[in-house]
């Protein structure tokens, strides 16, 4: 009889949904972020080659933009956006951190005029993935861009030449 009760309990537990992983903060230090963009305007192969000769690699054809960033202990608490509020005339509104989800709206009135949304899933205190969408105009051209983003913690001490963004 006790064996049967144990099996029933295990069966009931396996059918119940698991709670979302709550991540209160991420590790401070050096992070690597990769952004893969979709919806960029088409660029002629000759122009791409000219840019490559100057050392400029655009994120086309599934290539990602990879950057390094320093996250302060305060930013790692996730009580505020990790990106600067005034970058290119952009601001973050409706920022929320619940469990392992971070979401918010972006509004830009600088080089890019438009709005968008981001959502990230914290996989652990040292990794995340998510999406960013943006609609509007840039230099008079329409922008309808969706990007996937991922990040991973690299090390506790940041390289001295890395930017540390203050919100």
User: What pLDDT was estimated at residue 26?
Assistant: 94
Please report, for the chain, how many H helices and E strands are present, in that order: 2, 7
User: Which pTM value belongs to this model?
Assistant: 0.70
Mean pLDDT of 134-146: 83
Length, in residues, of the chain = 167
Where does residue 31 rank: exposed (0-12), middle (13-18), buried (19+ CB within 10 A)?
Answer: buried
Write down the pLDDT at residue 24. 85
3-state SS, residue 23: coil
**Ramachandran bin of 55, using left for φ above 0, alpha for ψ from -120 to 50, beta for the remaining angles:** left
Instruction: Give the domain ranges of the chain.
Output: 2-155
> Could you tell me the pLDDT band of residue 35, with boundaries at 50, 70 and 90?
confident
More confident residue, 5 or 33: 33
Work out the pLDDT band at 129, boundaries 50, 70, 90.
very high
Please state the rounded mean pLDDT for residues 19-33: 82
């Amino acid at each position: 009889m006790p064996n049967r009760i144990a099996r029933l309990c295990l069966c009931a537990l396996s059918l119940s949904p698991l709670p979302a992983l709550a991540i209160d903060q991420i590790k401070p230090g050096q992070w690597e972020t990769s952004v893969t963009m979709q919806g960029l305007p088409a660029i002629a192969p000759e122009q791409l080659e000219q840019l490559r000769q100057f050392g400029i690699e655009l994120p086309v054809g599934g290539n990602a933009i990879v950057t390094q960033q320093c996250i302060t202990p305060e930013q790692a608490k996730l009580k505020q956006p990790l990106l600067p509020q005034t970058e290119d005339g952009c601001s973050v509104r409706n920022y929320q951190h619940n469990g392992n989800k971070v979401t918010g709206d972006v509004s830009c009135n600088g080089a890019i005029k438009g709005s968008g949304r981001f959502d990230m899933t914290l996989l652990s205190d040292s990794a995340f993935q998510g999406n960013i969408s943006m609609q509007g105009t840039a230099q008079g051209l329409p922008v309808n861009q969706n990007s996937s983003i991922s990040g991973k913690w690299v090390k506790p001490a940041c390289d001295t030449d890395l930017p540390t963004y203050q919100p």
